[in-house]
Amino acid sequence: MPDPPAIEAHDLTKRFAKGNVLALDGLSFETPPGTVLGVLGPNGAGKTTAVRILCTVLVPDNGRAAILGLDVVRDAVAVRRVIGLAGQNAAVDENLSGRQNLQMVGRLSHMARGQAKKRAEELLEQFGLTNAASRSLKTYSGGMRRRLDLAAALVAQPPILFFDEPTTGLDPQTRRDMWTWTERLVAEGTTVLLTTQYLEEADRLADQVIVVDHGKVIAQGTPESLKADLGSTVLLVTLENSENAPRAAALLGPLGTRAPIVEDTLVEMSVENGPKAGSEALRVLDADGITVLGLVLREPSLDEVFLKLTGHRADSGPPAVATQASAESVGPRARSAR
């Protein structure tokens, strides 16, 4: 008998009576053990709803889902023994200390008292909370709470983890730490489902990505294959003068696979053959007397994949700064929609 997928969803639908919102509209995917599945989607796409159903907190209207072959509705109790959840809002007890919170989760996961204590100390250490361990959570910063919430998901060392926007509200250093922890867990065989709005995060961590919009999967694949689907390289041209931008865009238009995006002095477009298009771009602009300050060729970001698939942009994420020097990190997010 083949091993069941770590996480599978088949045609999940969920409608919330309040507001009559169809949050999930036939969501299907599966992910093998020991991998990271990135779930990307704009606000309201249904990511959190899907996670809540997979964690047995919510019951779907239709369709079914299973964790390691265990049905999330029929075998809910067994499912809860193999999962850890760090939800979108840190679900921790404000009135207890960090240590007490972790011990409580250990006891409720049916660990022996001594074992729960030991595990709590390990996690406090790992997440840099040892010094704050006996303080009430009321004195914790948002990032500390977030870290404690992640630690709580790891208490019972479950083989399947659900992280719903795990790095929202974390500082860059802690976010990188979080990535390292996740990679370590996966190296040890854990399966992680991670929802995120940070495309960089999915790119870095996920083996497979599904893009969710309006409650269904609109694309899936490896981060690389999704980017390859765009079938082109991104060409960014920085002009000296923004008044020339519309004219430059018109000149460059025939070189690209879709209409160029103009923002201030920056013209962005997708091209088939990067180097050829680059030199051609310089030539036509020079012939027209338009001064070019910089030209960058790069792989499309998941952001652009996302735009192409949904027709609208991911509207939150770390602000990217559009400077010449860091053109590598210039995502379309930094500019308004075309």
Partner 1 sequence: MTTVPADKNAALQPSGRLEGIGWLVNDSLTIAWRYLAAMLRLPESILFSAIQPMLLVLMFRYVFGGAIRGVHGSYVNYLMPGIFVQTVAFGAVISAVGVAEDIQKGIIERFRALPMARSAVLAGRTLSDLTRNACSIALMAGLGFAVGFRIETNVPAFLAGLGILLFFSWALSWGFSFIGLVVRNSETAQVATFPILLPFTFASSAFVPVQTMPGWLQAFAKYQPVSQVVNACRALMDGGPTSFHVLIALAWCFGLVAVLAPLAVRRYRRPA
Name the residues that contact Mg ion, by CB under 5 A: 47-48, 88
Binding mask 75-114 for ligand ATP (x = CB under 6 A): -------------x--------------------------
Nearest approach, Cβ of 50 to ligand ATP (angstroms)?
A: 7
Report the relative pairing of strands 208-213 and 216-221 from DSSP bridges.
antiparallel
Write down the residue that tokens 């013209």 correspond to: 267
Binding segment for partner 1 (CB under 8 A), chosen from 72-80, 237-245, 299-307, 309-317, is 72-80
Amino acid at 21: V
Asked if residue 301 binds ligand ATP (CB under 6 A), the reply is: no
DSSP state of 19: G
Asked if residue 48 binds partner 1 (CB under 8 A), the reply is: no
Binding segment for partner 1 (CB under 8 A), chosen from 53-61, 263-271, 282-290, 324-332, is 53-61
Decide: 161 and 84 in contact? Cβ < 8 Å.
Answer: yes
260 binding partner (options Mg ion, partner 1, ligand ATP, none; Cβ < 5 to 8 Å by kind):
none
Q: Distance between CA 128 and CA 247 in Å, rounded?
A: 54
Query: Measuring CA to CA, which residue among 39, 74, 7, 338 is closest to residue 206?
Result: 39
Query: If you write DSSP's letter for every residue of 139-192 in order, what string do you get?
Result: G--HHHHHHHHHHHHHTT--SEEEEESTTTT--HHHHHHHHHHHHHHHHTT-EE
Instruction: Map the footprint of ligand ATP across residues 39-78, applying CB under 6 A.
Output: 41, 43-49
Q: Give Cα 276 to chain centroid, integer Å.
A: 34
If the CB atoms of residues 24 and 102 are measured against ligand ATP, the closer one turns out to be 24
Query: Which residues form the interface with partner 1 (CB under 8 A)?
Result: 1, 4-5, 8, 10, 30, 52, 55-59, 66, 68-71, 75, 77-78, 80-83, 85, 87, 89-97, 100, 104-105, 107-110, 136, 152
